[in-house]
Amino acid sequence: MDHEHLDTYRGHLLNRVERRAEHARRHTSHPFHLFINEQRVGELDGMGREATLQVQHPARIQTVQVRSEDGVLLGGLCAPEHGYKTAHIAIGRDSIDLDVRNHAQGGTVNAAYTPAPPLWSRARRLFDRATDRRASTSAPPLYVPAMRTMAFTQVLVAAVLVGVVADRWTGWSTQERTPPPVTPAQAPWVAPMAEVAKLEQRLTDLMQMQTKAIDTMQTQQQTMAQLQRTITKLSAAQETVASGVVTVQREIEKREKGVGREVDRMSRLLMTRAQNAQEELQAEIQSLTIANDRLSKERLDLERSNQELKQRLKAAGIDISKAAPSKAGSGDLAQREQPANTQIAEGRRSSEPAPLLFWVTFQEGTSEDSIERLVREVQGRKGTITDGWQAVEIVHPVESPDRFLDKIRQAKIVKAVRTVEAR
């Protein structure tokens, strides 16, 4: 049941879509509504006269639709992304011309309604078409209207002449007959030969005037043709200008993009440089931090050793005071205090380490440069060489002598180290 219902509905929709074109052809419910991007923007009041509607749309136009008052979709178009597009929508005998232009910001739509021309105009057009079809094989299109006019005039003149001749012939043939009774009202129409001659003269004048009129028409047509050529040239020039504008716009966009890329590249370069400098700075800070840590550690070691020395000194002072005889006099006490004072003085001196002098021998083949480098590293001064032993003096040792000498012994180029001069 549902399936049947759906099929019926689908059939109805298909039928509606199929009938749409037919409906649009014969539909005439005015006015026509204009929709841009499915939104109603205005109406064309086409009640038998020409009407136009121009709409400026703030957003980019995608679709334009024309609907009748009862909502039937009569026509439309998909707008281009950039540039313009036109469409001609036939609604019965009427028509609507759409012109859509999309710019960088928004777009415009021009809609022009043209009603069907009146009956006589359509008949004339049909006649013109038929004549055109006949004349198109023998004459160029530009002279067709002139030839048509001339032919028409010739036919007219021939008809008038035939009429005049017939009139004369009738006069001659009825000369012997009894003239019919003439009433005063009919008298002017029964003209003598002089009147006929006058009529002929008038016809000749008429023909001359027609010839002049034909000449004037031909001149006008030539002017019109020239005007059309000028308009064609003008529109071509306009198109060229429009395309030039588009090209310039694209060029500007390209340049803007190019400048943007250059700026991006420069900024990236500067950023990279800044990052490198930052990394180098960070590495330096890190190395300085490590060196600082090492120095703090060494300072702590020194302070600790200094503390130990002080404690030792104190302990030594206590031992001495215990070992001294209690019966000793005050003079002796002064003598006993002297070595302690001396030790304290030495201890004070030891807090400012004395220069360290040692002698060192090097491995065979060690270059002078390597020796110089080692001496520089330990911030020492080279002394004399005695029996292959190089004297080295450290003016401001920062470590205890034993530890320092151990470090020296561990150097690759060092063979042996001693603190006593060789004899």
Partner 1 sequence: MFRAGMMGTLSKEQSAADRHPDAGRLDQVVTTPEEFDRVVAQALPALLDRATSYTKRFLRETGQWSDDVAHEKFVLRWGAEYLERFLVCGRSEVPCRPLFLLDSLVARQHSQPEPFCYHPELLTPLGRLIDGLLSRAAISRDALIALYYHCYGLGPGQVIAVLGMAGSESQRIYKNFQRWRDTGWQRAMEDAGISADEIAEFSRQQATHRHRFNADAERLIRFAQAHYRKSEPDHYACPSPVEWEDMFAQGYGTDYRIWHLALCVDCLQTAWDVGGARTASIDKPRVDFRIHPS
The owner of tokens 């109805």 is 12
Give residue 189's identity as a one-letter amino acid code. Answer: W
Are the C-beta atoms of residues 72 and 16 closer than 8 Å to each other? Answer: no
User: What span, in angstroms and rounded, lies between the C-alpha atoms of 315 and 311?
Assistant: 6
Answer yes or no whether residue 73 interacts with partner 1 by CB under 8 A: yes
Return the residue of 65, 109, 404, 408 that touches partner 1, per CB under 8 A: 65
* Residue number with CB closer to partner 1 (46 or 380): 46
Tokens of 32: 């026509």
Tokens of 180: 């019919």
Are the C-beta atoms of residues 77 and 85 closer than 8 Å to each other? Answer: yes
Return the residue of 70, 364, 369, 387 that touches partner 1, per CB under 8 A: 70
Nearest residue to 379 (alpha-carbon basis) of 360, 361, 398, 403? 398
DSSP 8-state secondary structure symbol assigned to residue 184: T
Return the residue of 52, 63, 311, 386 that touches partner 1, per CB under 8 A: 63
Answer yes or no whether residue 81 interacts with partner 1 by CB under 8 A: no
Tokens of 167: 């009139």
Return the residue of 22, 48, 49, 71 that touches partner 1, per CB under 8 A: 71
For residue 147, the minimal CB distance to partner 1 (Å) is 34
For residue 101, the minimal CB distance to partner 1 (Å) is 14
User: What span, in angstroms and rounded, lies between the C-alpha atoms of 20 and 12?
Assistant: 12
Return the residue of 34, 46, 67, 374 that touches partner 1, per CB under 8 A: 67
Answer yes or no whether residue 75 interacts with partner 1 by CB under 8 A: yes
3-state class (DSSP) for residue 41: strand
Site map for partner 1, 278-297, x if CB under 8 A? Answer: --------------------
User: What span, in angstroms and rounded, lies between the C-alpha atoms of 43 and 34?
Assistant: 6
357 beta partners: 393
For residue 32, the minimal CB distance to partner 1 (Å) is 11
The owner of tokens 């035939």 is 162
Number of shown-chain residues binding partner 1 (CB under 8 A):
35
Q: Which of residues 83-142 bind partner 1 (CB under 8 A)?
A: 85, 87
Stretch that binds partner 1, among 74-82, 174-182, 306-314, 371-379 (CB under 8 A): 74-82
Radius of gyration of the chain (CA): 62
For residue 42, the minimal CB distance to partner 1 (Å) is 9
Residues in touch with partner 1 (CB under 8 A): 2, 5-6, 9-10, 12-14, 16-18, 20-21, 29, 33, 35, 38-41, 62-63, 65, 67-71, 73, 75-78, 85, 87
